[in-house]
Amino acid sequence: MKVAVFSAKPYDREYLHAANVAEGHQLDFFDVPLDTDTVGLAAGHGAVCIFVNDVADAAVLNELRAGGTSLVALRCTGFNNVDLGAAASLGMKVVRVVTYSPNSVAEHAVALLLAVNRKIHRAYNRTRDFNFSLDGLMGFDFCGKTVAVVGTGKIGRVFARIMLGFGCEVIGYDAFPTPEFEALGGRYAQPGEIGASADIISLHCPLTPQTYHIIDADALARAKPGALLVNTSRGGLLDTEAAIDALQNRQLGGLALDVYEQEADLFFRDLSSTIVADDVMQRLVSFPNVIVTGHQAFLTREAVSTICQTTLRSVTEFESGLALTNEIKA
């Protein structure tokens, strides 16, 4: 099957080629993201393979369908960038990678948390200038602290297990509680408890209309002063402007982000020789207690390999007329 792969980076090409040995599809790679300006590149392809910041709204899907595309294959778990209702009305199928390596994202969240707490980023820059002063690098022990996990799915549970290993008390919030979370040793929080007692808050829920800005100005105002906040899920979960205000008034003790509300205009490209016009990002990175990485939490060999294998297997299922294991329906 002819597959147009959008937002294709070198690692995408390498791992998709490796996975395709077993599947035998024709993969055409495009560095650009899928949107209204680039959708014409997919003409004549039965499937498109897209990533987190590609646009598959109604307008794009209509043009894809007119060009012969009948399958949208997301090489990620989240699907907030796809208009599922429009896809269904056009008779298009949508598949995703339901699970790849929850360890990769959870471990990156912990890495960010350790770095922002112990000021690793600041220490690294200092020692490169042979400045070995310890002033301003004080952190706190994780042991005995309360960690709130917002979203207790597979990734949230792996993160919880790691934090329990540090000796933390782990409390959770999820619209759909699971006994697996409690079996690990976590417990679900009582109303208001996260804001009152959490020293650390980590976001692991999908972006939906219900979770958009789940952490807003009100939530931050209720947070324990000095709490650390980590987001490795989707940028829209956090009201970034409100987080900046909370950093400025020291309500937030630190912020670690692998995702960002407006990341589509920034992430997955080298902008080091340009003037970045995003004032919100400029303000974020100016804080000494903020760490931003460019949506790399998924980026491990194990995770990318599984993502590519699962995605191409879904294409094969579709081409063969089989039931789609990882189909998303409106």
Catalytic residue numbers, as ranges: 234, 263, 295
Concatenated DSSP letters for 210-260?
TTTTSB-HHHHHHSPTTEEEEE-S-GGGB-HHHHHHHHHTTSEEEEEES--
Helix (H) or strand (E) holding 108: helix 102-118
**Cβ atoms of residues 96 and 183 within 8 Å:** no
Distance CA 250, CA 254 (A): 9
- Three-state SS at 66: helix
Helix (H) or strand (E) holding 42: none
Q: Which residues have a Cβ under 8 Å from the Cβ of 208 and sit 6 or more positions away? A: 80
**Cβ atoms of residues 301 and 285 within 8 Å:** no
**Cβ atoms of residues 253 and 227 within 8 Å:** yes
> Which letter does DSSP use for residue 77 in this model?
S
Specify the residue for token string 């956090």.
238
